[in-house]
Copies of this chain bind each other. A is one copy, B any other.
Amino acid sequence: MGKGRLEAFSDGVIAVIITIMVLELKVPHGTDLSALVPLVPVFLSYVLSFVYIGIYWNNHHHMLHAVQRVNGLAMWANLHLLFWLSLVPFVTGWVNENHFAALPVALYGVVLLMAGVAYYILERVLIAHHGADSPLARAIGVDFKGIASLVIYAAAIALTLVNPWISFGLYVFVAIVWFIPDPRIERGLPQE
């Protein structure tokens, strides 16, 4: 089964997710600078969510690039990932409306954690399908970075009980770490 349509569908879903988030940026009613002040944290969380969705698209692109074929299991693992990503606009909206209160920030972390788990599952499904000595398997290896991210998300969720801004800082930290596309796959594979 070819991978083309899985890529095309994922591109479509991710494109819609990344774009409808802007609908959360409600048009302010005033026309002076003070009307924009309450939008600043909203804008910051929009930027973070945009970057996260961008990271997932980027890594998804890299991983699928290294893949020759997909099976039914990979298609559902991929839909599972898209499901959690589709919730990012919702949790972004909840964080915004409540000025970074503890529970919304925790739920934001839960969605990031579940998306990370879903990505990890997709990774393992694709590796199992291609074999342990495939270029994909050798390029990804144990995926320390992916697992470490999950641990940090879990810690950040717990830390919302202490201070949600620490948690938000950890989300930003993970985003910065993932900002650069995974060099393992680029290194491990022949160029197109």
Give residues in A with beta carbon < 8 Å to B.
Answer: 1-2, 5-9, 11-23, 25, 27-29, 31-33, 35-36, 47, 50, 54, 57-58, 61, 65, 69, 72, 75-76, 79, 82-83, 86-87, 89-90, 93-94, 96-98, 101-104, 107, 179-181, 186, 191-192
Contacts and interface: CB of A to CB of B under 8 A. Distances in A.
Given A12-B15, A69-B192, A103 B33 contact: yes
Tally of this chain's copies: 4
Given A1-B65, A31-B98, A20 B9 contact: no
A121 to B, nearest CB: 15
A184 to B, nearest CB: 12
Nearest to A191: B1
Nearest to A89: B22
Given A72-B180, A94-B27, A19 B20 contact: yes
Contact of A9 (B15, B22, B32, B69): B15
Nearest to A16: B19
A87 to B, nearest CB: 7
Contacts of A27: 90, 93-94, 96-97
A86 B50 contact: yes
Contacts of A75: 58, 61, 181
A135 B192 CA distance: 20
A83 B181 contact: no
Which residue, A9, A29, A54, A186, has most C-beta atoms of chain B within 10 A?
A9
B93 A79 contact: no
Given A2-B65, A33-B103, A54-B79, 7 more contacts: A12-B12, A18-B82, A25-B90, A28-B94, A50-B79, A50-B86, A58-B76
Nearest to A25: B90
Contacts of A101: 31
